[in-house]
């Protein structure tokens, strides 16, 4: 299983580089205006989910300043800047959505993955960075994310591909949208479609939220593997993938918060919406890679990033030293012995 977990994190970093720069390395400068008719999307989980908790006044970790200083000296965010990748799609399904057979591809992560026989596949949808459901090659992440609120399910699939009338993948996490998960999530030592074992969809911000002027949840961020503490994780993460950093590096699952003193006037109106969420809900370290933030693709939203005047480089003013680390308790040593929560 360890080779699969390394694959999860290393390929995600490569895919973020390719899709982030190949498909979305641009800044749109059309207009900065809130679209008042766009409502922020409904929360994925019930009130009380850990990624919707206000941590603006939560105590700092005793090592916060040490971690931030080390990370700044190590190069900060991937590529040294807080860039944004827009390639992950979040598809909506309901009771009428066609379902297709699901097959376990060679290398399927049996211990960490859920077992299903069929999966909803919305018409007109696609994989991460793709217009359809075909994965272009082994060097692509090809995440598939499908939300079925009618059934209370969130399907997150890793390295998916549709062929011969069925969808295959090497990893699948099925989340219960009606459940408030404990700090150990789907189970300690268990990975997901992110190395940290966290869900993807609830931590992605999107164009509809920017249009509404409010993001009501924490945000996913990633760092290069050498800048993540090796062999440990902290809740709500349940796994650590293949980080390589020393004890002064942040552990997988670390909760960062933008300082309350940060001068918002440096940012565009849309970027300020993201920054305010970073102050109130923070960011969770979720995987290894070079594109620091991940936003949902606007292919499947009502608003568009062109309406928001928001692009891949609009948060580069945010440096590592503008953040602090929320108290994360005692790190848990990685053993890879996945024990799923009932």
Which residues are bridge partners to 293 per DSSP? 84, 221
Residues 92-124 pLDDT 10s: 999 999 999 999 999 999 999 999 999 999 999
pLDDT range class, residue 200, cuts 50, 70, 90: very high
Answer yes or no: is 83 within a domain: yes
- Average pLDDT estimate for 158-179: 96
Answer yes or no: is 239 within a domain: yes
Give me the pLDDT at residue 24, please.
Answer: 36
Q: What is the 3-state secondary structure (H, E, C) of 186-215?
A: CCCCCCCCCCCCCCCHHHCECHHHHHHCCC
How many structural domains does the chain have? Answer: 1
Give me the pLDDT at residue 37, please.
Answer: 65
Q: Burial level of 207, CB count in 10 A (0-12/13-18/19+)?
A: buried
Closest CA to 156 of 112, 187, 222: 112
- Say if residues 326 and 256 touch (Cβ distance below 8 Å): yes
DSSP codes, 23-49 = TT-----S-----TTPPPPPPSS-TT-
- Say if residues 111 and 338 touch (Cβ distance below 8 Å): yes
- Dump strand ranges (E) for 227-335: 232-233, 255-258, 283-288, 293-296, 323-325, 332-333
Answer yes or no: is 39 within a domain: yes
- Average pLDDT estimate for 47-58: 96
Answer yes or no: is 80 within a domain: yes
- Say if residues 115 and 103 touch (Cβ distance below 8 Å): no
Average pLDDT, the chain: 89
Residue burial 241-261, b: 16+ Cβ < 10 Å; e: rest: bbbebeeebbbbbbbbbbeee
Q: Please give the residue range of the domain that contains residue 283.
A: 2-88+183-333
Tell whether the model's pLDDT for residue 157 goes beyond 50: yes
Query: What are the two backbone dihedrals, phi and then psi, of residue 294, each rounded to the nearest 5 degrees?
Result: -130, 120
- Say if residues 49 and 284 touch (Cβ distance below 8 Å): no
Which residues are bridge partners to 102 per DSSP? 167
Residues 242-275 pLDDT 10s: 899 999 999 999 999 999 999 999 999 999 999 9
Answer yes or no: is 62 within a domain: yes
How far are the Cα atoms of 212, 213, 322 from residue 158, in angstroms, in the given order? 30, 31, 33
Give me the pLDDT at residue 62, please.
Answer: 98
Residues 295-321 pLDDT 10s: 999 999 999 998 889 999 999 999 999
Answer yes or no: is 51 within a domain: yes
pTM for this model (two decimals): 0.89
């Amino acid at each position: 299983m360890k080779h699969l977990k390394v694959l999860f994190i290393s390929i995600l970093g490569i895919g973020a580089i390719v899709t982030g720069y190949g498909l979305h390395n641009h800044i749109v400068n059309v207009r900065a205006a809130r679209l008042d008719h766009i409502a922020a999307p409904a929360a994925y989980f019930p009130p009380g989910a850990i990624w919707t908790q206000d941590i603006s006044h939560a105590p700092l970790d005793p090592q916060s300043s040490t971690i931030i200083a080390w990370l700044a000296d190590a190069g900060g965010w991937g590529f040294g800047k807080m860039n944004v990748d827009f390639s992950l799609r979040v598809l909506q399904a309901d009771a009428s959505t066609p379902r297709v057979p699901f097959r376990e591809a060679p290398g399927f992560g049996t211990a960490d993955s859920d077992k299903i026989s069929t999966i909803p596949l919305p018409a007109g949808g696609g994989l991460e960075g793709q217009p359809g459901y075909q994965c272009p090659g082994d060097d692509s992440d090809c995440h598939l994310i499908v939300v079925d609120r009618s059934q209370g399910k969130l399907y997150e699939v890793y390295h998916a591909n549709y062929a011969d009338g069925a969808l295959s993948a090497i990893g699948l996490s099925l989340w219960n949208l009606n459940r408030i998960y404990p700090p150990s999530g789907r189970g300690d030592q268990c990975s997901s479609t992110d190395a940290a074992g966290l869900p993807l969809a609830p931590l992605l911000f999107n164009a509809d939220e920017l249009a509404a002027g409010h993001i009501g949840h924490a945000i996913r961020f990633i760092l290069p593997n050498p800048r993540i503490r090796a062999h440990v994780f902290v809740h709500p993460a349940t796994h650590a993938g293949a980080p390589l950093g020393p004890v002064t590096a942040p552990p997988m699952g670390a909760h960062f918060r933008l300082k309350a003193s940060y001068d918002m006037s440096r940012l565009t109106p849309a970027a300020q919406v993201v920054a305010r969420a970073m102050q109130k809900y923070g960011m969770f370290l979720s995987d290894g890679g070079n594109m620091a933030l991940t936003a949902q693709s606007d292919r499947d939203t009502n608003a568009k990033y062109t309406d928001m005047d928001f692009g891949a480089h609009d948060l580069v003013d945010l440096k590592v030293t503008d953040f602090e680390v929320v108290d994360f308790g005692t790190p848990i040593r990685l053993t890879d012995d996945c024990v799923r929560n009932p």
